[in-house]
Amino acid sequence: MELFNVVSVKEAKEIIDRSFDFKLGYEVVNILQSVSRICSNDIKAECNIPEFKRSTVDGYAVCSRDVYGACDAMPSMLELKGEVLMGTVPPTDISLGECMYVPTGGMLPESADSVVMIEYSHFMDDNTILIYSPVAMGDNVIQVGEDINTQDVVIKRGDKLRPYEIGVLASIGISEISVYKRPRVAIISTGDEVVPCDVKPAIGQVRDINTHLIWSLLLEDGMEPVSYGIIKDEYDDLKNTVDRAFNECDMVLISGGSSVGKKDQTLKVIDSYTDGEVLVHGISVKPGKPTIIGKHKGKIIFGLPGHPLACSIIYKILVKDYLYRLTSQSDKIYGTNAVMSINYHKAKGREEYLPVELDTIENVVVAKPVFGKSGLISVFSKAWGYIVIEKNEEGVKEGQIVEVYKL
């Protein structure tokens, strides 16, 4: 029986970087259809936001020197020169000793440099306002271009468009944007024992979990999943399906069939292509050791472990990483600090991704391992995330601060 020639996770990523230079095309979409899409070029503003001085409060536009030292005992007395209506230019400018009422978001007169909140004012008569509080130059005012300056890069290539970025695009008058095409990712589930999830399995059979798991992960990451169904452990069936997948998709994910058993056909399929190349077979990681990374037509193929937990971990650390590189995404993964609840021992020589749940005990976030073998699906519903234990570490100690990454 052929044995694994394992590499580290870091080495696997380096091999992928060296081996692939596949580029995605791009398309122009309306911003209303751009949520979760990936921007394909830098977007520069062609205008200032705001394009005029705006008040952040309801109050009186003033020259700050006119209200210097104003207080309850000695208010400043200013002549009221009218009011600014929303969406209009001030009817006139103000001079020293004058003020003008401005609503929140309204445009300031040219000579005004600050706004006094209406709470600190009082009508002496129809034309005179008493001000009881001083303001500094710029108080309660958004200056021209303070939010966005002309030629500022407001969205960078590789940024994922959230509702907030779409709001920014609308603010600078952009209604269409160039985004990367969604990578089409083939999902092939293999195994004589695997049946569709809506079929009651016979003894010895299992429902297809990984198709639905991978599909959902791909959707969550803004990709376009394409399912090719469940394929039995027969070489010709798998070969024909993989042929179709490579012709129709940008990358291929095969669930199951990545080990070294007699019925594991993924390696044979990759080797059957004249340009086929098995780049990795075996990664020093727990769970997920029997992972395959191959190449055909310049495209990547992953042979993922059949066990759901191992499958999801490999997706998180390798498949997703490759997809993000493919779309130039700059999204960074940040962990949450927590205190380990127990001593946990692991064997040296491979990284371990340990599922944990989080709990708050006396205002301290505590990470509790969720124990379960890689074939158990219930681990997902119990775990908030996972911690990474490096391959040369023997484990983690109770009370140790660990970084928890969300599943």
**Which residue ranges form the domains of the chain, and what is each CATH number?**
9-25+182-326 (3.40.980.10), 27-49+146-180 (3.90.105.10), 54-142 (2.170.190.11), 336-406 (2.40.340.10)
Q: 76-83 and 121-125: which strand pairing? A: unpaired
Distance CA 61, CA 116 (A): 7
Report, as an integer, the average pLDDT of 20-44. Answer: 92
115-to-65, 71, 85 alpha-carbon distances in Å: 12, 16, 15
List, for residues 208-240, the tens digit of each pLDDT value: 999 999 999 999 988 999 999 999 989 999 999
The token pair that represents 404 in the structure block: 């928890």
Residue with tokens 């030629």: 151
Closest listed residue to residue 314, CA positions, set 4, 3, 9: 9
Written as six digits, the tokens of 378 are: 């219930």
User: Mean pLDDT, the chain, as a whole number?
Assistant: 92
Please spell the DSSP secondary structure of 288-349, one letter per residue: --S-EEEEETTEEEEEE-SSHHHHHHHIIIIIHHHHHHHTT--PPP--EEEEE-S-EE--TT
Nearest CA to 117 among 73, 50, 55?
A: 55
293 in Cβ contact with 301 (< 8 Å): yes
Residue appearing with tokens 């005992």: 73
Q: Which of 291, 340, 272, 244 shows the shortest CA–CA distance to 8?
A: 291
Q: Are 251 and 186 in contact (CB under 8 A)?
A: yes
Nearest-CA neighbor of 229 among 256, 259, 247?
256
> DSSP 3-state assignment of 83?
strand
How many CA atoms lie less than 13 Å away from 201 in the CB half-sphere? Answer: 13
Average pLDDT over residues 198-208: 92
pLDDT tens profile 371-385:
876 556 677 778 899
pLDDT band at 309 (very low <50, low <70, confident <90, very high): confident
- Is the pLDDT at 263 greater than 60? The verdict is no
Using DSSP, state whether 204 is helix, strand or coil: coil
Q: What distance, in Å, lies between the first and last C-alpha atoms of the chain?
A: 34
Q: What is the DSSP letter of 226?
A: E
Q: What's the whole-model pTM score?
A: 0.81
**What is the arithmetic mean of pLDDT over 104-127?**
96
More confident position, 174 or 22 = 174
Residues ≥6 apart with Cβ < 8 Å to 211: 187, 189, 227, 229, 230, 255
- Decide: 312 and 380 in contact? Cβ < 8 Å: yes
